[in-house]
Structure 1
Amino acid sequence: MVHEYWGAPDRYQVEIAAQKKLAAMPRLQYPAPDAAVFTATDSLRAQPGIQLKVAPEFDIHLHGFMGYGAGVWYRFINELTLNDLQQYKFIATVENEYADDATLNALKQYVEAGGTLLVLNPFAFSFTPEGKSLDAVRAAFTGIAAVKKTSGAQLLEYQGKDLPASGLPTGALTPAPGAKIIGKLDDGNPGMVEYSLGKGKVITLAVNPCVRKLAGSKPWTEFFHQFAVAAGCKADQDIWRFKLPDALVQKLPLPAGQCLTNNAVTWRQFQPLQPNNAGISGTYTLTPEPDSIKDRASGAIAFDQGKLTDRPRAIAADSAYGGKGNWQEWVIGYKTSAPIAIDCRWEKPMPVTAVKFWVQGAWRDAKIVIGSKTYEFPCDPAAAASSNDVREITLALPEAVAADQMTIQIAGAESNLILAEMEIWTK
């Protein structure tokens, strides 16, 4: 349905262990930040889905270059935190196409007082939040008189080194009077422009390297490291070497018992394992048949064919997440208010211990009829409430019952019920 990457038990074991370890540790002594990353929230708001459905990619990868690459301890700032900027040896910015007057004035004052502004987006400071052009303001502030989208450059040459530029967001920069070109693209256009303003300077790149394809790029990592050192920042700070002990990663035990229906899947290290499936044949019969989402067949349905027992096939199919697959191909659904009976049979007597269901909707009272006995399972009030979540329901027998057949009876109710999977477990 949705890739198990998001729900793997290994992931949660490590995360919980790490949280417990961190809670027991002395409070970290953070170094004082001597650099900053400026992000214009107006620019983020201009991008469809950003922060709601899409992560701010440019800032994420700038973080990688600044922190894990250069080892600089820095602070994120935005329009509301442009105070005391002179504590920063340099400010890097990549999310910045839209900026208001107050923001531009604060950054300009920072540069005029001796600060260095590293602009990693060739289209920086193009518009006000209302959409008004900032061409004239940008020219006076950054030394970029004009910029237009272009492509084709493969490399940016800077201080005798070639920085990868293929496929990056690229702008053809037109320097304003007084600006100087300190790096070139291999297509002949300026690759890096420096503009002195007061006691400081603004450096603008014609390409934006803060993208996924360049994550961990050695040439660009060296560029940020050298830039930070030249600006006077303390690089390679110890805090970036912080590492939790490997002992937090534990090998999780495999479930005990056997699965009669042969559809138990255990995820370990994001791999689907099937160590518990018994490998015997069997069938289940639904009465009445589903009236909302049908099964693949009628009557007695083999365990290796029915929707209720097909998890090994479902995990290998196209994911329903994002519309690549159809989740209804893997579940059955009822709208009827009548009771539901699931008659299960298998080839030889086995000591049954539990039945598990994965359901959506309101669960109901249930019974298991096995070995001439009936076991009742009143519905937990929390599970009786209708929900869009998929919930695991376990009907555990008080003792193992040896049998080669049984019937699960689910009470009738005036609510829809979707059954995604059923597992029958034995010793």
Structure 2
Amino acid sequence: MNSTLTGAVAIYLAQVRAELSDLPPGELEDVLEDVGSHLTEVAGELGEDPSLTALQERLGTPRQYADELRSAAGYPPRPTPVNADNLDAGRKALRWGLIAATVGPFFILIGLLAWNREQTSFFGLLGIAVVFVAALIGVQSLRGQDPRIVLDTPRGARGAAGIRGWIEQIPPNIRQDLVAIGQPVWWVVRGVIGAGGFFALFGSAPVAVVASIAGAAVSIWIGRKTQRDRRWLWYVVPLNVVAAIAVPAVLAAAYVGAAPDLFANYNGYRGSSNYQPSQDGLFLNGNRIDNIYPFDAQGKQVDVRLYDQSGNPIELNLQDCAANYGQPSGQTVSNLFPQAVVVPDENGATDETNCKDSTKAPFVPPPAPATRITPTPTPEPSGKPSATPPSATASIVPPASVPPTARPSGPPTPRSGATLTVEPTR
């Protein structure tokens, strides 16, 4: 407001300010800056020091002038006078507004910090439901009255005074820039994060990109709508809180995605709904292994020692009687399998005094799969004469008829004086 105004002009401007005191502080200062310039021009036309009556005859009463400003700028009407009904409605509306702005974002924050996608979806949807249900009840609690009646309640007045005090700590020029530039930017960011984040959690990435653009347009429309109808504040304020929580979360997730080497474990956790914190012991497909019972190819149980690929023993805690009942022993782990475990007696009970343990497997192993034997193929006939003819006749040739070179040089045949020859049948 122009501090150089004096006399009737300053009084008139102060009265206009009182009529517009329900406007947000940042917007009120902008309006009064324009009003001060207009009053200065009118005072120049009326004379050096116009009276308050002359100003009212030219511009109307301060209330009329303020009402014209509200109508021209699209601001809501002046709040109704305070009474008992207004105070009761204001308290209820404020209570439900606080629930929408705190409880709903709290559940959404839990969803962002959840361990898996199912919990994120559950708490996220629960938080959104709380926000809209509480906001709807808060608007209904107004009973059709002006939303600014919440500022007439003690709690609302203290909150408004505190917020106004924080705003007044900001230099006027920066305050004006925040209203003129920061507010539209926040509307866009709020819509992008809200719609894009929702569809990223519960939809797909391509849909999230389109939803971000649409969300920015809807957020700008809601922002302009809120300036004219303050009942939208019951929905917008909780969503602003949610966006204020989600923006740092989205930026942190983007940073984590840009540094996979530093945050590889975090990325693995967020990308998988089956993430489990690291645990001690031996696990297979998420199931804990307490003992191992080796069998050979014939199905006979054998004792073995197990090592990993680096030669380190694969050890498990001993489970025999000494380990279970604290009896002194020099060993607590072993890589010899199967390990002895306590077995109950015939009554199904275990007794420390008469404890018995066994390494026998508590199950019958399934039969080993049969080894497939590939039969040797029978050779096909090649058409050449075989070494052994299919049939032959034997004849005894006298020694005189056999040439000397044809006689065998080896041991004598069983029948002396004769040679056994085989000829194929022609």
TM-score, normalization: structure 1?
A: 0.21
Which structure has the bigger radius of gyration?
2
> Larger strand proportion, structure 1 or 2?
1
